């Protein structure tokens, strides 16, 4: 199945003062500029409602700028007709996530399965506000569907900025405590059968793709198709370690967290504390305005306000520790702590030195004799040289990789056209080294299997092992769609399914064209935009990526977009092309 994706390289977030600061600011853009393809909407006759109960619903949260917008997209409504922050995959399509979220429709049909896209700001005006809104909206939609359809099972898929949303929702659901009546505030964790996270910014160093699973490096529990051979973890950790953790509570074993080696969003090296500080600051800035306007009086005030607040918090935190100058904590560590958006003030109240009665007696003694000052009572200034030494050593040790990361051009490394590892999830198959499917194809196969279980009315058993026939059925449609699309372009299919369900490289011999329609992911082409379209769409320029298993992405400028419905006549919708 060929799905064209669009992304582009944009300039750094802001050019601030010196080249060193520019390089550091670049990482902010790198970490958060997780943009996706131009949106496509399709006008349908009916509005999707929670009263149309399904056996399984997948809720997808896409990346920056890739989200349904109320007023331009038909939104999901609850049982009372009230709009919810979500849209059906019939009304909104993200070409990044659709490959996985709509794959089950080929096997179970629309009467049993639905794919939804969560609406949230998906911007960088305030990263934390955007992600928190995404979390709240996702949980609200789950609750609304649960009220109308208590037996519906859920899957969650998130990519890029949406991956952060998906992770936080999964952790909230997995760590819920039941109410007195046995119900749950969001949804019963047993009804969340799978979570797919692509480019997890909260990933823990050394974490495998399937945290909490019996085989954390090869497959989620209950799905006996290996993602890869071996047990080597992708090096590094997520750029937002404070939001992470590898314990998803009740959802352990039902998480697939994919991270491409070299994607600094989820595979940042250790000892880059200065860059981590910049990331923390960037989470509280209006990065959209910095990218758009660069450094102006307005954006400068925004930067100064955030920096001043962090500095004041740092000094307040130090004041709350009377013996701070004697401690091993460095000022850089304090800044990292207080710059975290979740920081809510010092945990210890400022202490006042206690005065012992004997000290008063000594000070007021008529003899005027003075006791010698012990080492413990010495002025804190005596510890200043040792503290400065610790500061210097700490700065060097915790930044051993800062300069190498900056010098390696992190923007190109993660987001560069055709080489950016942030887009590897659609092209990272490596059959020669034991990885037959791309991350996106593996997610599609897993979600298809989960949807088949839900349709059959079978609860997901984490210890169950699917048969070879079940795995083959989950993969057959994916392989067939790949063959149809590539043959239509004059190329041979890149994958072939063996009778046992294993995927092997296919022979490069043409096969007859099959009358199969790819659900929710028709070939896309793009016309030149009108002035109005350019004004209405402030998305980054995108470069087409062909997510074939062994191919590298290519650039394309086609002429029209066609979105095909499963059971209706295809509807043509123009897609605005951002300015190059």
- In tens, the pLDDT along 392-422 reads 988 898 888 888 888 888 878 888 877 899 9
Q: Are residues 73 and 214 in the same domain?
A: yes
Q: Are residues 74 and 211 in the same domain?
A: yes
Q: Is 302 helix (H, G, I), strand (E, B) or coil?
A: helix
The boundaries of the domain holding residue 107 are 56-269+439-479
Q: Are residues 86 and 235 in the same domain?
A: yes
Q: Are residues 228 and 143 in the same domain?
A: yes
Give residue 56's pLDDT: 97
Q: Are residues 222 and 255 in the same domain?
A: yes
Q: pLDDT tens for residues 324-336?
A: 888 889 999 999 9
Q: Is 562 helix (H, G, I), strand (E, B) or coil?
A: strand
- Report the DSSP pairing between strands 56-61 and 113-118: parallel
Asked, for residue 127, whether it belongs to a domain, the answer is: yes
Average pLDDT, the chain: 74
Asked, for residue 325, whether it belongs to a domain, the answer is: yes
Q: Are residues 249 and 301 in the same domain?
A: no
Q: Are residues 328 and 457 in the same domain?
A: no
Q: Are residues 144 and 230 in the same domain?
A: yes
Asked, for residue 190, whether it belongs to a domain, the answer is: yes
Asked, for residue 506, whether it belongs to a domain, the answer is: no
Q: Are residues 311 and 196 in the same domain?
A: no
Q: Are residues 150 and 262 in the same domain?
A: yes
Q: pLDDT tens for residues 339-393?
A: 988 888 886 544 444 444 444 344 444 344 444 445 555 566 677 888 888 889 8
Asked, for residue 503, whether it belongs to a domain, the answer is: no
| Cβ–Cβ under 8 Å, residues 34 and 61 | no
- Is the pLDDT assigned to residue 209 strictly greater than 60? yes
Asked, for residue 80, whether it belongs to a domain, the answer is: yes
Locate the DSSP E strands across 113-201: 113-118, 153-159, 192-198
Asked, for residue 2, whether it belongs to a domain, the answer is: no
At 468, the pLDDT band (50, 70, 90 cuts) reads low
At 495, the pLDDT band (50, 70, 90 cuts) reads very low
**Residue of 100, 263, 73, 218 whose CA lies nearest to 166:** 100
161-174 helix and 127-148 helix, angle to the nearest 10 degrees: 50
Q: Are residues 289 and 255 in the same domain?
A: no
Asked, for residue 290, whether it belongs to a domain, the answer is: yes
Average pLDDT on 46-60 reads 91
**Residue of 158, 399, 448 whose CA lies nearest to 278:** 399
How far lies 273's CA from each of 20, 337, 355, 396, in Å? 15, 11, 40, 10
d(CA 480, CA 482): 5
Pick the last residue of a domain from 479, 500, 534: 479
pTM for the full predicted model = 0.68
Question: Which residue did the predictor score with more confidence, 262 or 356?
Answer: 262
Residue that is written with structure tokens 């043959």 in the block: 487
| Cβ–Cβ under 8 Å, residues 420 and 7 | yes
If one counts the domains in the chain, the total is 2
Q: Is 326 helix (H, G, I), strand (E, B) or coil?
A: helix
Pick the last residue of a domain from 431, 452, 479: 479
How far lies 558's CA from each of 6, 343, 526, 544, in Å? 12, 48, 5, 10
d(CA 48, CA 73): 11
Q: Are residues 220 and 282 in the same domain?
A: no
Give residue 40's pLDDT: 40
Question: Which residue did the predictor score with more confidence, 560 or 269?
Answer: 269
| Cβ–Cβ under 8 Å, residues 247 and 212 | yes
d(CA 127, CA 72): 23
Q: Can you give the CATH number for the domain in which 105 is found? A: 3.40.50.1820
> 58-90 b/e with 16+ CB inside 10 Å = b?
bbbbbbbbbbbeeeebbbbbbeeeeebbbbbbb
């Amino acid at each position: 199945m060929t799905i064209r994706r669009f992304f582009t390289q944009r300039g750094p977030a802001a050019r601030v003062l010196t080249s060193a600061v520019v390089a550091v600011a670049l990482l902010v853009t790198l970490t958060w500029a997780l943009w996706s393809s131009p949106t496509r909407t399709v006008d349908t006759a009916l509005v999707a409602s929670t009263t149309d109960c399904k056996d399984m619903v997948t809720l997808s949260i896409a990346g920056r700028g890739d989200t349904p917008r109320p007023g331009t997209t038909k939104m999901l409504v609850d049982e009372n007709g009230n709009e919810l922050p979500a849209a059906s995959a019939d009304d909104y399509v993200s070409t990044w996530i659709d490959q996985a979220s709509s794959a089950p429709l080929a096997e179970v049909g629309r009467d049993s399965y639905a794919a939804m896209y969560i609406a949230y700001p998906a911007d960088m005006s305030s990263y934390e506000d955007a992600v928190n809104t995404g979390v709240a909206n996702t949980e609200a939609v789950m609750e609304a569907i649960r009220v109308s359809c208590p037996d519906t099972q859920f899957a969650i898929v998130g990519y890029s900025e949406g991956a952060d949303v998906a992770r936080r929702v999964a952790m909230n659901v997995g760590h819920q405590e039941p109410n007195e009546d046995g119900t749950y505030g969001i949804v019963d964790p047993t009804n969340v059968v799978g979570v797919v996270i692509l480019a997890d910014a909260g990933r823990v160093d050394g974490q495998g793709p399937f945290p909490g699973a019996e085989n954390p490096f090869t497959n989620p529990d209950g799905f006996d198709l290996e993602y890869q051979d071996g047990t080597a973890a992708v090096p590094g950790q997520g750029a937002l370690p404070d939001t992470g953790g590898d314990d998803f509570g009740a959802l352990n074993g039902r998480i697939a967290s994919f991270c491409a080696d070299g994607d600094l969003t989820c595979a940042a090296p250790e000892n880059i504390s200065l860059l981590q500080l910049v990331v923390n600051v960037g989470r509280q800035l209006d990065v959209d305005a910095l990218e758009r306007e660069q450094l102006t009086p307005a954006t400068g005030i925004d930067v100064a306000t955030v920096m001043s607040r962090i500095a004041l918090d740092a000094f307040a935190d130090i004041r709350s520790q009377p013996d701070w100058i004697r401690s091993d904590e460095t000022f850089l560590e304090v800044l990292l702590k207080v710059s975290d958006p979740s920081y809510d003030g010092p945990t210890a109240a400022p202490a006042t030195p206690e005065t012992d009665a004997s000290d008063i007696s000594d000070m007021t003694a008529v003899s005027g004799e003075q006791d010698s000052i012990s080492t413990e009572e010495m002025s804190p200034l005596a510890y200043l040289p040792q503290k400065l030494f610790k500061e210097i050593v700490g700065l060097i040790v915790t930044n051993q990789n800062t300069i190498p990361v900056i010098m390696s051009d992190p923007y190109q490394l993660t987001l560069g056209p055709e080489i950016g590892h942030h887009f590897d999830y659609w092209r990272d198959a490596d059959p020669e080294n034991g990885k037959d499917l791309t991350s996106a194809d593996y997610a599609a196969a897993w979600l298809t299997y989960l949807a088949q279980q839900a349709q059959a009315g079978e609860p997901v058993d984490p210890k169950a092992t699917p048969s070879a026939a079940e795995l083959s059925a989950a993969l057959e449609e994916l392989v067939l769609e790949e063959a149809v699309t590539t043959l239509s372009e004059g190329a041979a299919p890149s994958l072939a399914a063996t009778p046992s369900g294993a995927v092997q490289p296919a022979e490069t011999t043409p096969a007859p064209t099959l009358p199969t329609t790819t659900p929710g992911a028709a070939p896309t082409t793009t016309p030149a935009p009108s002035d109005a379209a350019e004004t209405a769409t402030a998305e980054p320029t995108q470069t087409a990526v062909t997510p074939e298993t062994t191919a590298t992405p290519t650039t394309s400028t086609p002429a029209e977009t066609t979105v095909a419905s499963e059971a209706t006549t295809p509807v043509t919708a123009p897609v605005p092309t951002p300015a190059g």
